Amino acid sequence: MKAIVQDVYGSTDTLELRDVDRPEPAPDEVLVRVYAAGVGPDVRHLMTGLPLLVRLGFGLRRPAHPVRGWDGAGRVEAVGANVTGLRRGDAVYGHFDGSFAEYARARPARIAPKPETLTFEQAAALPVSGVTALRALRSKAVVRKGQKVLVIGASGGVGSLAVQLAAAHGAHVVGVCGTGAAAFVRSLGADDVVDYTHTEITDSARRYDIVLDAAGNRPLPLLRRALTPDGTLVHIGGEGGSRWVGDIGTQVRMALLTRFARQNLLGLLAAVRREDLLTLNSLVEKGDVTPVVDSTYPLAEAPAAVRHLEKGHPRGKVVLVVTP
């Protein structure tokens, strides 16, 4: 089968399209024929091996699992002996073990039926970003009608879904984005936008009940100033911090401060679970949430897809079309 393989950590130059053996599912796994795969910051972090802390879990000197990709959508090709409730031909989406390939293994606890109203490309854009937005606003912050919610990085994969989710709950949503994305963010349901190229989030007197930081490039004191005295900050792992531990230092400071402050300062690193995917299915079916695909690339052009992501500010998610 064709797959995007990486033997060493580094830039997009380390990603290669190769013929590799088709994986065999374990007794508690399924094999999925991958139709589409999501390209997110998580893929880039594993590609570069940065921050270095990630290598503890994914290979110290080189990637332990050379096929890239997590988000995916496709059809079940084979079912392990111990798996029930799934059969060959079922359309599924979720967390795959190496989704940048024609076939990938997946655990039933981390996949769910693909929403019928979504294309495979849209479904591939949903797992990591959708579960992150869902857990940020429902589990961590518990968004309610009438609250003021600020979404930083509102045009990205997580942010575009968080804007929709907060608006569906009846919150007053303000999205932070660049000048060119303002109309797009409003179309998602934002009541107002902050153009970060001209205005900082604390320049006005507005304070927010919830700040969801999906960009990760602002200092903690500034984020806290944007909150109400008892507001909640949900910080999603971003691009800042040191080469060694990334923004783990920010996460630790938040955990210490929230013990003594009225404000809730919460970090989030969401894992894709079937229960959350089923909740997203319900939201999709009701029309509350629709994943946005910024652009698509064929599997062979995965390096170009990652470079497009690295240039910054895609509107929604970048997606690989693996099996047209």
Q: Per residue of the chain (324 residues), what is the pLDDT tens digit?
A: 999 999 999 999 999 999 999 999 999 999 999 999 999 988 888 888 876 767 776 777 888 899 999 999 999 999 999 999 999 999 999 999 999 999 999 999 999 999 999 999 999 999 999 999 999 999 999 999 999 999 999 999 999 999 999 999 999 999 999 999 999 999 999 999 999 999 999 999 999 999 999 987 888 999 999 999 999 999 986 555 556 555 666 777 777 777 778 899 998 888 999 999 999 999 999 999 999 999 999 999 999 999 999 887 899 999 999 998
pLDDT at 48: 85
Q: Hey, what are 204's tokens?
A: 């006005």
Domains of the chain: 2-126+291-321 (3.90.180.10), 129-268 (3.40.50.720)
pLDDT, tens digit, for every residue of 251-303?
A: 777 777 777 788 999 988 889 999 999 999 999 999 999 999 999 999 999 99
Residue with tokens 């024609």: 102
pLDDT at 60: 76
pLDDT at 49: 81
Residue with tokens 């996949």: 111
The C-alpha angle 288, 281, 36, rounded to 5 degrees, equals 110
As a three-state string, the secondary structure of the chain is CEEEEECCCCCHHHEEEEECCCCCCCCCCEEEEEEEEEECHHHHHHHHCCCHHHHHHHCCCCCCCCECCCEEEEEEEEECCCCCCCCCCCEEEEECECCCECEEEECHHHEEECCCCCCHHHHHCCHHHHHHHHHHHHHHCCCCCCCEEEEECCCCHHHHHHHHHHHHCCCEEEEEECHHHHHHHHHCCCCEEEECCCCCCCCCCCCEEEEEECCCCCCHHHHHHCEEEEEEEEEECCCCCECCCECHHHHHHHHHHCCCCCCEEEEECCCCCHHHHHHHHHHHHHCCCCCCEEEEEEHHHHHHHHHHHHHCCCCCEEEEECCC
- What are the two backbone dihedrals, phi and then psi, of residue 307, each rounded to the nearest 5 degrees? -65, -40
- What are the two backbone dihedrals, phi and then psi, of residue 132, each rounded to the nearest 5 degrees? -60, -50
pLDDT at 243: 65
Q: Hey, what are 16's tokens?
A: 């290669």
* Residue 91, amino acid: A
Q: 112 has which bridge partners?
A: 93
Q: Report how far apart the first and last C-alpha atoms of the chain are (Å, whole number).
A: 15
pTM of the model: 0.94
38 neighbors 127 (Cβ within 8 angstroms)? yes
Rounded Cα gap, residues 131 and 122, in angstroms:
14
pLDDT at 249: 64
pLDDT, tens digit, for every residue of 111-149?
A: 999 999 999 999 999 999 999 999 999 999 999 999 999
pLDDT at 245: 54
pLDDT at 240: 58
pLDDT at 237: 67
Q: Hey, what are 245's tokens?
A: 């531990």
For residue 274, the tally of other CB atoms under 10 A from its CB is 16
